[in-house]
Every structure is written in structure tokens, then in C-alpha cells.
Amino acid sequence: MTAASPRMQPLFEKTKTVCFGHFLMEVPVSATVIFGPTNVDWPIEYFPGEAEKIAQHVAGQLDEIEKDRIFLSKEDITKFTRYGKVIDGALPGQKLIFGTKDQATNSIYSFIPLGKDLFIQRALRALSIDAEIKTMNTVASSLRLRTENEIPTENGACIEGGFVSWQPEFERIAIGIRLKEFPDVHLSISATRKDVLIESDALEPRVKRAEEEAKKEGLGWLYARIKTFRRGTRQLGDWNGFEILARKPMYKDDTDAHEFLFLSQGTPNDPLKPVLDIRLNTGVANNKTASVRPSISDEEAVALWDKLTTSIRIRPTGGTKNSSAESPKTPLGKHLRSGDLCTQTGWWQCMESDDIAGGKRRHFKAGETLPHMTLLGKPSLWQKLTGERPAFNRDTVWQLVAYDDASPATTPDTK
């Protein structure tokens, strides 16, 4: 690692921990964290303070869906029977809307109000409407609000404004770090879980191909002027990857600027070892690279890169506290599904109106797996004679209605 210059040292005298996906990193306390595209199976966005405007968001989406109705044939109308309809989701206040973008697959939109905030998830190419409804309801039921400096200790992933205590099949999280002291320096991180390893995505062969193409196009002289500080394989925490740190020369309208990259292809289907793509650019202005002269030197750029990237790590789970503040209680009203881990010791209530074995309200401890509910049916004549009663297991949603210090008598039914 390159030692920080006197100008850089004050930058890290006070830091804050950033949680993104399953990971943590340390950044200067003055830094701004910007969340980019996020997928929990399907893309999901955060709209702070917009819960009270959910009706407007729903109406706006319905208007967009109706604009596409002219593209539907008679056969399409028969096939997409839910087109333009709005139904309630699993979470109180959640709304699901249906449409189609290509007349071949379904588009499903989930509007999830939590407290004063709103999350919107979109599935624009859903092949199975029932399967994706289940997925979107699971996401909504597994989602809770999260403050910027909260570091959860349970299993799950941090997204902008929230925390998802569920493991989807596909995940993507992207963040950008902006430094108040050096506004032209941009660091971006993308972590994407993939199910297959694609050799051609590796960074090293891509760089070599670019160099070969440049020589064919007569730009070999430009590549010869690139100043390379490091280039080769690198072990970054749990990731094996390839790194290249370089300063590109001036060319046409571009200034000289730093461009650092690290890419690890991770391990397929391992949420803790996703594809990790890290980039640092200097000379950025108005979101365009190489627009202004870099505000930091070569040595400072390398030191900053090392300081930030080496802090990236897997977020510990299992009760270990990762911040000086007390971990907050799971808020009352939190919803989890059967099979999820209980996040808060207390009284949880099954979100069903039927006759439930053991009652609708149950006491669970943090870390327990929330069970299915057992629905009691009407006994047949023979079962009445034998004292038996039919029972059926079914997935359900559990709602936290009281903390551990409340007795069952003081926890009213939640309808």
C-alpha cells in the first residue's frame, strides 16, 4: 500500500461504515454515498418521504400501462387477463399492478409503503405471473427500513433506505462514493451475483484485446503514453481478481486522468462472493470522465484507492455488533414470511383470518425459523365421531405485534 500524503491523512481521521448488499466498507465521514441500480431478483428503487403519495405513483403507472393498450390484439387481451388491474399485495398498503411491455411477457409493478417512505419494484419481463407475484410479496414482507448508519447483524442485504432479510436468486447492488474534499474523484462499486462464470468477462483479456485493437487502428502511440502504476492479479479480501491502475494521457477533448479498475468474477451462486467491479476515476465533472485536470497526484490516487478498497469486507452476522450505537429493535409491524429467520424476540401474529392451530399469536425468539401456519378445516362426520380434525400447512406472513416484555393479554389482534 502507498502511504497517504499529508493532504490525504486528515481525510480518514474520521470515518463511517457503509453497508451495501452483504458488505461493509469505510469511507471518510464527509463522503457522500450514492446508491445506483439495485436488484432483489427484480429492480427496486427507494423514494424517501413518498409513502403518502402512493396513490399518485399507482395512478401514474396505470396511465403508462393504458398508453400501451393500443398495441394489444384481441388474442393479447384474452392472454393478459390482469392487464391494467390493481390488487393488494401481502403487506398492508402494498399494491400490485399488471401490464405488458412486449405482448409476450407480463409486467408487474409492486408499490411498497414503509413508514413515510416508498419502495417500487418492477418486473418488466415476467414469464410466470404467479411466481413473480410470490417473489414480489416475499420481497415486500422481508423488507424493512434502515437508517444510513445502521449496520444490521442478521442475514440479508442492505439496499438504499432498507434491509432485505431474504436471499433472492439474483442480486445486484451498486454504490458511488463522492469526496467533498476532491469532487472530481469518483469511486464506484458494483457487486452482482451470477449463476455462471463467463471467461470473456474477465478484465485481463479485455484489456489485452483493447490494446490489440488500438494497434490495428494506429493508436499504439497513445497506449504507449499510458502511465501504469500496477497491473496484475490481486487478492482483495475474499476475492481473487485482476487490477490495473493507470493514468491516461490527454487525447482530443479529454484531459489526462486516472482510471483504476479491479474486477473479480467471484464464485457462481455464492451471494458472499459476487462479481465485484470497482472503479476509480479522477478528472470527473458533470458525470463525464477526463473533463478537468485531476485534483490529486498519482501517489495520492494510489493511496486513496488502497485505503478504500482494502476496507471492503463481508458484513458479519449472528449478533455481532458492528457499530458503537445499540442495534435498534425491529420495528412493530415488521412482516416476515414462513421460513424466514425471526429478527426480534417477541409476539408475532399470523396474518390470517381462519382457524389456526395454536392460535394466530405466537412467541418467537430472534434467530428462530418462522413456521408455516396450520389451518384447521371443518371435520367430516366420521372425524367428528373420532374427535379428529383436518389440518393443512400453508405459508403465511407473520407480523411483529409486541416486544418480549408485553404479555399476550396486552397484544391486541392486528387485522
Q: Which of 182, 138, 139, 156 minimizes the C-alpha distance to 292?
A: 182
| 309 and 296 housed in the same domain | yes
- Lowest model confidence (mean pLDDT) among 276-285, 300-309, 378-387: 378-387
Task: Examine the domain organization and report whether 292 and 202 are in the same domain.
Answer: yes
Which residue segment(s) compose the domain that 377 sits in? 335-410
Residue 2 resides in a domain: no
Same domain, yes or no, for 182 and 302?
yes
Residues 307 and 175 in one domain: yes
Do residues 92 and 49 both lie within one domain?
Answer: yes
**How many distinct structural domains can be found in the chain?**
3
Residue 197's pLDDT band (boundaries 50, 70, 90)?
confident
Q: Among 111, 139, 164, where does a domain finish?
A: 164
Residue 405 above 70 pLDDT? no
Query: In this model, does residue 194 exceed pLDDT 70?
Result: yes
Q: Are residues 74 and 23 in the same domain?
A: no
What percent of the chain lies above the pLDDT cut of 70? Answer: 87
Exposed e or buried b per residue across 322-360, where buried means at least 16 C-beta atoms within 10 angstroms of its C-beta? eeeeeeeebebebbbbbebbbbbbbbbbbbeeeebeeeb
pLDDT band at residue 378 under the 50/70/90 scheme: low
Check residue 374 and give its pLDDT.
74
* Claim to verify: residue 32 and residue 53 sit in the same structural domain: no
pLDDT for the residue numbered 205:
75
Of 283, 314, 345, the residue that ends a domain is 314
pLDDT in tens, 238-264: 899 999 999 999 988 899 999 999 999
At 251 the pLDDT is 86
Q: Are residues 126 and 199 in the same domain?
A: no
364 and 268, same domain (yes or no): no
Q: 353-370, pLDDT tens digit by residue?
A: 666 776 788 888 887 777
What was the pLDDT predicted at 392? 62
Residue 19 reports pLDDT greater than 60: yes
Mark whether 84 and 187 lie in a shared domain. no
Band of residue 303 on the pLDDT scale cut at 50, 70, 90 = very high
Mean pLDDT of 34-60: 97
Q: What is the pLDDT of residues 79-135, one digit of tens each?
A: 898 999 999 999 999 999 999 988 889 999 999 999 999 999 999 999 889 999 999
